[in-house]
Amino acid sequence: MELQVNKTARKGMVLFSTYKRGEAIKRALDIGRENVLFELKTSKLKGRGGAGFPTATKWMLTAAAKSDDKYLVCNADEGEPGTFKDRVLLLEYPALVFDGMVIGGYTIGAKNGIVYLRGEYEYMKQTLEEYLEQMRKDKLLGKKILGVEGFNFDIKIRLGAGAYVCGEETALIESLEGNRGESRNRPPYPVNTGFFGRPTSVNNVETLAAVPHIVAKGGEWYMKIGTDKSSGSKLFSVSGDCNKPGVYELPWGTSIKDLLKIVDAEDTKAVQVGGASGICIPESQFSRTLAYEDAATGGSIMIFNKKRDMLHVLKNFMDFFVEESCGQCTPCRIGNVKLLEGVEKIEKGEFTFDYINNLKELGKTMQIASKCGLGQSSPNSFITILENFKDEILNKCGNGVTA
Ligand SMILES: Cc1cc2nc3c(=O)[nH]c(=O)nc-3n(C[C@H](O)[C@H](O)[C@H](O)COP(=O)(O)O)c2cc1C
Ligand code: SF4
């Protein structure tokens, strides 16, 4: 079996289609900022970092903020377990990501772009720096881009230090400022008060990579791909029990059943959509679709076959969250520990059904009361695995103790 996790496994109609470096920057300059925003709005592009916020709105808000010192940050932290599509984009398609940043800088009026690169991706920093240097030589970056007076934009690369929460945009900004990576209260939002208090647009690598195609081919073209509420294509990082793991570009709206066929998965029991913080889908729901309106994901798809122990899978996820909680707020700091303890008690058969129900309620409280997306989403796998694989877990661990 050929392992393809580092490479593009399936080229699609958007991100992995042909693109000539600089082409969309030229077009953006020809049509002007307002029309770039118009094309983006027409495309209905939503942020690919997980939250799905409309990119045109984010850029309009940052463009409208009153400051002559704005920032565009490319979020390349890629910390969600099972996600590796941004790494592929940066290494195989840097023209898309960096042209997207230049167009973003032009549109929001930023002179500075920063790539926040996951610490573990340090090995690619030199290659990316060389690429940026070539862009400067070709007048696609730096002062007077493509000879246009006043259009100055440059990009720096900064390394993260390995904390999952630093992918959250406000914790990322804290980390960029040299502080401990902890999420901020919102509002104010980064579009007004971001990096060192300046208006800042934080965009995922894949979001930025979609922009040049939209600018070059038009928002209408893009909008027609995918579904009504989820336009365009999506990169899925597929791992686990299948014969063809890798990065796949597919239109939004693809069913899980079809995806399993494409990646040649056999005997599948469960598909974890959206990484450790996502939801676990059982075989009875494989006709569900990958889309914002159904099973949404930042890109991570983990496949588990019938030999896998779902309680063990859950324990792994909960271990991760206990480790990665930044500890600022009680629901997440204590809640994740309680959920992990619960999994361990279930494993030993030391539980009552009331206890499990209370833990599920605790998970729902964490979803509402946690300060940032980490604690708001960490109970998702706990709730969906216990609900969808209840029989398997009870068969293995017994029916608990009498209350
Ligand atoms: C715990 C946590 C980790 C996150 N990690 C990432 C990440 O690695 N990459 C990313 O683009 N967004 C990540 N996000 C989402 C960001 O906060 C933010 O929504 C995103 O970068 C905005 O870009 P977009 O609008 O292009 O999606 C994370 C959010 C949370 C709560
Ligand atoms: S939810 Fe978790 S990661 Fe986010 S602020 Fe609270 S403790 Fe920190």
Q: Is the pLDDT of residue 5 over 70?
A: no
**CB count in 10 Å sphere of residue 327:** 10
139-176 confidence digits (pLDDT tens): 999 999 999 999 999 999 999 988 999 999 999 999 99
Q: Are strands 71-76 and 112-117 parallel, antiparallel or unpaired?
A: parallel
Q: How confident is the model at residue 351 (pLDDT cuts 50, 70, 90)?
A: confident
Model pLDDT, residue 18: 83
- What are the structure tokens assigned to 195, written together? 């990096």
Instruction: Return the ligand 2 atom nearest residue 326 CA.
Output: 8
- For residue 332, the CA-to-ligand 2 centroid distance in Å is 6
Query: What percent of the chain is modeled with pLDDT above 90?
Result: 92
**Residues in contact with ligand 2 (CB, 6 Å cut-off):** 165, 183, 325-329, 332-333, 370-372, 374-375
Q: Is the pLDDT of residue 17 over 80?
A: no
The most distant pair of C-alpha atoms in the chain lies apart, rounded to whole Å, by: 77
pTM: 0.96
Across the chain, mean pLDDT equals: 94
296-317 confidence digits (pLDDT tens): 999 999 999 999 999 999 999 9
Q: Distance between CA atoms of 202 and 115, rounded to whole angstroms?
A: 10
Instruction: Return the ligand 1 atom nearest residue 79 CA.
Output: 8
Q: Are strands 279-282 and 268-273 parallel, antiparallel or unpaired?
A: antiparallel
- For residue 287, the CA-to-ligand 1 centroid distance in Å is 27
25-38 confidence digits (pLDDT tens): 999 999 999 999 99
Model pLDDT, residue 236: 96
The ligand with the least distance to the CA atom of 185 is 2
Model pLDDT, residue 8: 63
- What are the structure tokens assigned to 25, written together? 């920057």
Q: Which helix (H) or strand (E) covers residue 257, if one does? A: helix 256-262
- For residue 321, the CA-to-ligand 2 centroid distance in Å is 10
Q: Distance between CA atoms of 201 and 63, rounded to whole angstroms?
A: 9
- What are the structure tokens assigned to 279, written together? 């939801």
Q: Does the beta carbon of 50 lie inside 6 Å of ligand 1?
A: yes
- CB proximity list for 360: less than 8 A, separation 6 or greater: 382, 383, 386, 387
Question: Nearest 5°: phi and psi at 134?
Answer: -65, -40
**CB count in 10 Å sphere of residue 312:** 12
Q: How confident is the model at residue 7 (pLDDT cuts 50, 70, 90)?
A: low
Of 48, 61, 116, 204, the residue with max ligand 1 atoms within 8 A of its CB, to mutate for a pocket test, comes to 204
For 87, the 3-state DSSP assignment is helix
